[in-house]
Amino acid sequence: MNSNSNTQLRYFESFKEGNQVAFAYFYDHYFSKIKAFSISFIYDKEEAENVAQEAFLHLWENRATIDSINGITSFLYTYAKSKCLNIIRHNKVKDRFKDDVLNQKEREIDAEILNSFSFDVLELTELEHLINRAINKLPPKTREVFMKKRFEQKKNIEIAEEMQVTLKAVEAHMTKALKLLRNNLSDYLTIFLLFIYNN
């Protein structure tokens, strides 16, 4: 057994006895890993940090049930995964209502701002052509995600299910689409954004 293993074993034995310094050792060693693991589920750094902290709190409260050093990581990852899945289930219900309300408000506000600009028919038609050309230049999957999100008003989770991709992939495609479109339409950026979000 190497020196690192001996050190961890000593800390583990002290942790089992309720030594807070030993607990801090494992906290420092694993906290960032549990937080990163949680982010991969819920994509929210603050929420993931709360999950990680809660996992360690429960680890401390249940330290008597942990039989080995590996048991610490198993406990933390299992707890974090369970907590993240509960958050996802809760947010699905909450977001279904919240997204509908926010999307409607966003469309109303954007419509008011867009209507405050004076366009003649030719200018608006030219802008539509420019936007359509820029959209058509997007990579196929990125374009499909963008069209479903902005023109079909679909939620990310619906797009992910339809295209059989992860929620993270949908978010990545949207980020890529907006970045490319901003670059291609930089001279018309303000009007472009209002035009897109109003559709």
- Compute the chain's Rg from CA coordinates: 24
Average pLDDT value for residue range 102-121? 48
Range 97-132 burial, b when 16+ CB lie within 10 A, else e: eeeeeeeeeeeeebeeeeeeeeeeeeeeeebeebbe
Mind listing the pLDDT tens digit for each residue in 127-150? 667 777 878 888 999 889 888 887
Among 78-82, 92-96, 165-169, which stretch is predicted with the lowest mean pLDDT? 92-96
* Domains recognised in the chain with CATH numbers: 3-89 (1.10.1740.10), 117-197 (1.10.10.10)
How far is Cα 22 from Cα 26, in angstroms, rounded to an integer? 7
For residues 195 and 199, give the distance between their C-alpha atoms in angstroms, rounded to a whole number.
Answer: 7
Condensed to tens digits (0 to 9), the pLDDT of residues 24-68 reads: 999 999 999 999 988 887 888 899 999 999 999 999 999 989 888
Residues 6+ apart with CB under 8 A from 130: 185, 188
pLDDT score, position 187: 55
Q: Taking Cα atoms as reference points, which of 10, 32, 11 lies closest to residue 20?
A: 11
